Amino acid sequence: MRLVLFDCDGTLVDSAGVIHETMARTFDAFGLAPPALDDTKSIIGLTLDIAIARLTGEPHVDDRALAMTAHYKAIYTDVRAEGFSERPFPGIAALMRTLGQREDLVVGAVTGKSRRGLDIIRTSHGFHFTVSRTADDCPSKPHPAMVTECCAEAGFEPRDTLVIGDAIYDMQMAKGAGATAIGVSWGYAPPTALLAAGADHIVQTPDDILALLETAHA
């Protein structure tokens, strides 16, 4: 038995569009120039308040970052309803169905999204997670708590756990917890950055994840 923990944004779904649009409107509401798309992509995976602080150039979360975080959360659902909703990456829906049918795996999620945000993704796309941790539950990535808490709840050791993500924060979180770090090439960080952050493997397609799971020690 192994535990497979997926990041969400940039790994399962392409949500850069809705995140960037919501971020741009939030910055505009506070009289700030919107970030560039690449800058938005660079913070996807972090807890929202920390992400906003970084985009505004602040070293720590301040009162403005907290106010902007509240505004972002307040408008997110409306922005999404305008047609900026996320879509699963090619092959992900089939992968998740296949993994859900396997008795030798437990599938979970570790995401910088809020619990509400993860629930939106889960219900919209039919993803099932036996265990999950969000920004509402744990410190921001790359702190390893999301992984270690999922392991403890599901009854796995980190050495029997794979963490699959697209951000350097995912790789750092996985290695900090003692889990195997799997980087995906279709997300928001280049494979070279994922390898530098400690990725044990880089996969090019969702089918490559299935191939890795067939090995005795992925």
Dihedral, CA of residue 35, residue 41, residue 43 and residue 47, to nearest 10 = 110
When pLDDT is averaged across residues 10-27 and rounded to a whole number, the result is: 97
Return the half-sphere exposure (C-beta side, CA atoms, 13 A cut-off) of residue 214: 5
Domain extents for the chain?
A: 2-14+87-213, 16-84
Average pLDDT, the chain: 96
- What is the CATH topology of the domain spanning 16-84? DNA polymerase; domain 1 (1.10.150)
Is the predicted pLDDT of residue 215 greater than 80, yes or no? no
Q: What are 43-102's pLDDT values in tens digits?
A: 999 999 999 999 999 999 999 999 999 999 999 999 999 988 899 999 999 999 999 999
Percent of residues in the chain assigned helix, strand, coil, to nearest 5:
50, 15, 35
pLDDT class of 8 with cuts at 50, 70, 90: very high
Cα separation, 155 vs 209, whole angstroms: 22
Within 10 A of 82 (CB to CB), how many other CB atoms are there? 9
For β-strands 161-165 and 13-14, DSSP reports them as unpaired
When pLDDT is averaged across residues 114-133 and rounded to a whole number, the result is: 95
When the candidates are 3.40.50.1000, 3.20.20.80, 3.30.420.40, 3.40.640.10, the CATH number that belongs to 2-14+87-213 is: 3.40.50.1000
**Does the model's pTM come out above 0.85?**
yes
